[in-house]
């Protein structure tokens, strides 16, 4: 059984809808794909509606950590992985 993406930390209704549009409808799929891959897909699909805060939110959702608590070094690593 999968956990709806809407229940993931940092994922609000608008982001959940966008994630659903790219086929990410569960927390488990987000975790399996990872924040960087999901962010790339969102950026390609919604180029004017996605910014770096979405990347932080996705990584926070994967780690079950508020996005504002991500260490700066982790943010740098995420940007390097794009």
pLDDT-wise least confident of 1-5, 71-75, 77-81 = 1-5
pLDDT at 72 over 90: yes
Q: Helix axis angle, 13-21 relative to 35-45, nearest 10°?
A: 80
Q: Which of 77, 43, 78 is nearest to 15 (CA)?
A: 43
Phi then psi for residue 26, to 5 deg, are -135, 155
Q: What is the pLDDT of residue 1?
A: 80
CATH superfamily for 5-81 is: 5' to 3' exonuclease, C-terminal subdomain (1.10.150.20)
Please write the tens of the pLDDT for every residue from 2-37. Answer: 999 999 999 999 999 999 999 999 999 999 999 999
pLDDT at 67 over 90: yes
Please write the tens of the pLDDT for every residue from 47-58. Answer: 999 999 999 999
């Amino acid at each position: 059984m999968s956990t709806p993406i809407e229940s993931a930390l940092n994922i609000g209704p608008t982001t959940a809808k966008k994630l659903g549009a790219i086929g990410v409808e569960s927390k488990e799929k987000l975790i399996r794909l990872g924040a960087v891959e999901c962010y790339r897909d969102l950026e390609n699909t919604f180029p004017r509606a996605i910014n770096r805060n979405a990347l932080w939110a996705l990584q926070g959702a994967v780690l079950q950590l508020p996005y504002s608590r991500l260490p700066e070094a982790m943010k740098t690593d995420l940007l390097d992985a794009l």
